[in-house]
Each structure stands twice: as structure tokens, then as C-alpha cells.
Amino acid sequence: MSANPYLPDMATVVEVIEETPNIKSFRLVLNDDDKMKTFTFQPGQVGQLSVFGAGESTFVINSSPTRMDYLQFSVMRVGEVTTRLHQLKPGDQIGVRAPLGKPFPVENMKGKNVLFIGGGIGMAPLRTLFTYMLDNRSDFKDITLLYGARTPVDLTYQEELPEWLGREDINTVLCVDNEYPGWEHKVGLIPNILLEMNPSPENTVAITCGPPIMIKFTLQALKKLGFEDEQIITTLEKRMKCGVGICGRCNIGTKYVCQDGPVFTYAQLKQLPSEL
């Protein structure tokens, strides 16, 4: 990051992937070769993307630090900035301020079973860690991914799903809310499928992200399965502007999600005032 924390680095869009009808992934390369070569981040950290003239918004870096050909961000079209982001094409210029925030505690997960539970666009922050673990497979024990969306059309990272489903060294379960023509995987809500899967909490870390309602019931399901608060990790979303703990809108009491998060254990979340 530059000495001026508000000054973005310029980057070029090298690839745009249409993930779903309202989600696109952008692969970016910093224009400054040296910066791109020395750029480091850890899974779970976020960045601010700028479309000059429209503004800046925060997204997780969902590529893995083990694959540094580009930085990938997935963007759901919901407002002004994301609408302008969706108009970008390969070759277009974009501003990036990254990395920001605190990453997943990867070191603490080594030697453990890892259970990923992602819902919809909530798969983005999981993808970075999931890919990182696939590239460092021997550091972790059993890896399970439960990934669901409303319909099969709403599943992101379709390009990668065949690989994830096909790998022998991971267990991938996909689900959608309702029956859908041609759908061969699970049907049902994520928390229910999770209970059905009945994963053991023994030496396991659960990492979940998705819409607030899904997280709420997933946490309940994990508790029912016997997971302790310290074994559950999530990553929060808040409206952010500065990204560096100054502008004052992403705080929950004394904690600033942009600086102290966005990754929190369920135990840490319980210590915070209830303002999610």
C-alpha cells in the first residue's frame, strides 16, 4: 500500500467471468510489474475496487495467494458502483487498494479437518481459503465443502465445480433450495443438508459465509452438531468507505470490521455488542 492510504494502485482487467446472471468475477493485474510481483496477501483479506467517477466498494480477494497470476474479485450487481463494475471489459483500467483487513487464521487450521459452508456470493471469501488449502493439501486433514445457492444458475465458480466434485482428496456437496430440471445434487436449505451430512466436530474447523439468514441457521446447526464457538469462523460484511479504520461506519462497538475483521470466530462475535 502507498503512503497515502486513499491512493489506489492502478490495475488492468485481464478477464471477466460471468458467474451468474448478477455476479461477475474480475481478474486484475497491477499495472506496476514490480508491485504485482511483490504483492502479498493472505486468504480472507479484502480490497477496495475503484471505478473512477462512480466510487469505491469493498470486496474479498477471492483468488489464492498460491496463484498470483492475477487477483480475482467477484462482484454482485446491487448498486451504483457494482453496476459500473459490471460494465468493465478486459483491458479496462481500475483502481485497487489492497490488501485490507485481517485474514483467516490459517496456521491454526493446519493438521485439522476443515468444513466449508458457503451460501450464494458467500462462497467468494471461502474460495480463496479453499483454493489455498487445495494447493497446500498435505497441511490439512479432511476437507469438506458444502456449497449451496437458490438455484443451479446462482452457483458461482461453475468452471471449477467439476474439479472440486471430481477430486478424491476432498468431499464436495452442492445443494439448491428447490428441485430444478437436470439437477443431480442435493435439494434443500444449507443448514438442513449440513445436519443430514452430520460432520464430526472432532478436530474440525467450520468456516461459513453467506446471507445473514443462512449464517444464523447454519450457526444453530453447527451448535447442534456439537461445534464449540471457537471452532466456527465467519467473515462479515459491512458498508465501508475508508477501509483503514477511520471513517466510522463499519464499527461494532469498539471493533472496526475493516481493521479488526472481517474474519471473526463465533466466540469473538459473541463478545461483541449485537449489531450485525
Partner 1 sequence: MERFITEANLQQFAATLAGKKHVLAPVASGGTTCFRRLVPGMRLDFSRMAVISPKDATFPRNETLLLVQRYVEESGKKLELKEQLPEGECIVIGSRPCGARGKLIFDPVYETEAIKDPYYLRRRDNTLFITLSCDRPESTCFCHSVGSNPADGTGSDVLLTAVEGGFFARAITPKGEELLADALFEEAGTRAEEAAAKQTKARELMGQAHDFSSAAAKLLERFDDMGFWQAQSNKCISCGACTYMCPTCYCFNITDDEAGLVSRRLRSWDNCMSHTFTLEGSGHNPRGTKAHRLKNRVGHKFSYYPDLHASQIACCGCGRCIKQCPAGVDIRQVVMAAQEYVDER
- CA-nearest of 124, 87, 113, 126 to 207 is 126
Q: 68 vs 244, which CB is nearer to partner 1?
A: 244
Stretch of residues binding partner 1 (CB under 8 A), selected from 77-85, 101-109, 153-161, 169-177: 77-85
Is residue 7 close enough to count as binding partner 1 by CB under 8 A?
Answer: yes
CB of 203 to partner 1, least distance (A): 34
Among 87, 167, 212, 271, indicate the residue that binds partner 1 (CB under 8 A). Answer: 212
Q: Which of 22, 93, 171, 268 binds partner 1 (CB under 8 A)?
A: 93
Among 67, 87, 216, 273, binds partner 1 (CB under 8 A): 273
CB 160 → partner 1: shortest distance, Å? Answer: 25
**3-state SS string for the chain:** CCCCCCCCEEEEEEEEEEEECCEEEEEEEECCHHHHHHCCCCCCCEEEEEECCCEEEEEECCCCCCCCCCEEEEEECCCHHHHHHCCCCCCCEEEEEEEECECCCHHHHCCCEEEEEEEHHHHHHHHHHHHHHHHCHHHCCCEEEEEEECCHHHCCCCCCHHHHHHCCCCEEEEEECCCCCCCCCEECCHHHHHHHHCCCCCCEEEEEECCHHHHHHHHHHHHHCCCCHHHEEEECCCCCCCCCCCCCCCEECCEEHHHHCEEEEHHHHHHCCCCC
* 252 is a site residue for partner 1 (CB under 8 A): yes
Nearest partner of 20 among 152, 184, 210, judged by Cα: 152
Residue 21 sits in the site that holds partner 1 (CB under 8 A): no
CB 242, min distance to partner 1, A: 7
Site for partner 1 in 39-58 (CB under 8 A): 50, 52-57
Q: Which is nearer to partner 1, 50 or 62 (CB)?
A: 50
Segment near partner 1 (CB under 8 A); pick from 3-11, 18-26, 174-182, 223-231: 3-11
* Residue 239: CB atoms within 10 Å: 10
Number of residues that bind partner 1 (CB under 8 A): 44
If one asks whether residue 78 binds partner 1 (CB under 8 A), the answer comes out as yes
Nearer to partner 1 among residue 76 and residue 269 (C-beta): 76
Please say which residue, 186 or 241, places its beta carbon nearer to partner 1. Answer: 241
d(CA 10, CA 263): 26
- By CB under 8 A, residue 118 contacts partner 1: no
Residue 8 binds partner 1 (CB under 8 A): yes
Q: Does 105 bind partner 1 (CB under 8 A)?
A: no
| Helices and strands in the chain, H and E counts | 9, 15
Under rule CB under 8 A, residue 5 binds partner 1: yes
The residue ranges that bind partner 1 (CB under 8 A) are 3-8, 10, 50, 52-57, 76, 78-79, 82, 91-93, 95, 211-212, 237-239, 241-242, 244-254, 273-276
